[in-house]
C-alpha cells in the first residue's frame, strides 16, 4: 500500500471534526545500538530480540531513509507529525503528554469552594499506640 492512499483518509477524518495528532518517537542510532547490546548481554532481556530485530539493526540507514520519505509525504498542515527524541524514555513520555495536552482545546470548568466539615461534636477518640503488633510476638495463626 502506498502512503499517498492513506493521506486522503486523514483529510476525511480531520474534515469530519477529529483532531489527528501524530507522534514519531525517534531513537538515535547510537542509543538503539546500546539498547540492543544490553538485551544481547542480559539473559532476562534476550526474549525481546527476534531475528527481525537483529536484521533491522543491519538495515538502520535503509529504514531511516524510508522513514524520512514517509514523513515527507504524510506531514501536512492539518495533521503534522511531532517528532520526539526518545533516547531518554521517561523524558520522551513526559514531553509527549505535555505536548498532547497543549494541543487539545478545553474550557475551564468552574469550581465551587469546598469547605472541610467540622468534626462530630466533642467526641474524642481514646489514645492509640502509634505502633502495635497485629498479634502477639511469636504467635502464628493456622492457615
Q: How far apart, in whole angstroms, are the C-alpha atoms of residue 39 and residue 20?
A: 34
pLDDT < 70 stretches in the chain: 1-10, 119-123, 125, 129-143
**Whole-prediction pTM value?**
0.63
Q: Which domain holds residue 82?
A: 3-103
| Residue 27 domain-assigned (yes or no) | yes
Count CB-CB contacts under 10 A for residue 25. 14
Structure confidence by residue, pLDDT tens digits, 99-125: 999 999 888 889 999 888 876 666 676
Q: Is 87 exposed, middle or buried (0-12, 13-18, 19+ CB in 10 A)?
A: middle
| Strand-pair partners of 119 | none
Q: What is the CATH number of the domain that holds 54?
A: 3.40.50.300
| Residue 87 domain-assigned (yes or no) | yes
| Residue 117 domain-assigned (yes or no) | no
| Residue 131 domain-assigned (yes or no) | no
| Residue 25 domain-assigned (yes or no) | yes
Strands (E), the chain: 22-26, 81-85
Number of structural domains in the chain: 1
Amino acid at each position: 500500500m502506498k502512503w499517498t492512499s492513506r493521506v486522503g483518509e486523514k483529510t476525511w477524518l480531520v474534515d469530519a471534526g477529529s483532531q489527528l495528532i501524530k507522534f514519531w518517537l525517534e531513537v538515535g542510532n547510537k542509543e538503539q545500538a546500546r539498547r540492543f547490546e544490553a538485551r544481547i548481554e542480559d539473559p532476562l532481556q534476550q526474549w525481546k530480540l527476534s531475528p527481525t530485530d537483529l536484521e533491522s539493526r543491519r538495515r538502520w540507514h535503509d529504514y531511516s531513509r524510508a522513514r524520512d520519505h514517509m514523513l515527507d509525504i504524510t506531514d501536512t498542515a492539518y495533521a503534522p507529525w511531532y517528532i520526539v527524541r526518545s533516547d531518554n524514555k521517561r523524558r520522551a513520555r513526559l514531553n509527549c503528554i505535555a505536548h498532547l495536552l497543549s494541543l487539545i482545546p478545553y474550557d475551564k470548568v468552574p469550581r465551587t469552594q469546598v469547605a472541610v466539615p467540622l468534626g462530630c461534636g466533642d467526641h474524642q477518640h481514646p489514645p492509640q499506640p502509634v505502633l502495635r503488633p497485629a498479634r502477639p510476638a511469636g504467635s502464628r495463626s493456622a492457615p
